[in-house]
Amino acid sequence: QLLEPVLLLGKERFAGVDIRVRVKGGGHVAQIYAIRQAISKALVAYYQKSSKKEIKDILIQYDRTLLVADPRRCESKKFGGPGARARYQKSYR
């Protein structure tokens, strides 16, 4: 999974590029997805406008999450219940 951007775009595009990535937080799978997204975004930013569109199209056609982050986050807890949406049990007697 980590090497998907490399395999999709070919090794010749990575010839002059040295990649070092450090990740922190999350689980193993989340870190792998973060690394592959970082590599993809860095490559798109590295290349000039002529081949930039071509690279973007290849990556998005294969998997959109290579360039676009998932915006879903944990909803914060509210008062009146044990969690974000759940409410405390109500008693009528």
- pLDDT digit string, tens, across residues 30-83: 898 889 888 888 888 887 776 777 787 887 788 777 788 888 889 999 999 999
CA 21/CA 33 separation, integer angstroms: 12
What pLDDT shows up at residue 74?
A: 92
Look at the pTM and tell me if it is higher than 0.85.
no
**90 pLDDT exceeds 90?**
yes
What does the domain layout of the chain look like in residue ranges? 4-66
74-81 — which CB contacts under 8 Å span 24+ positions? none
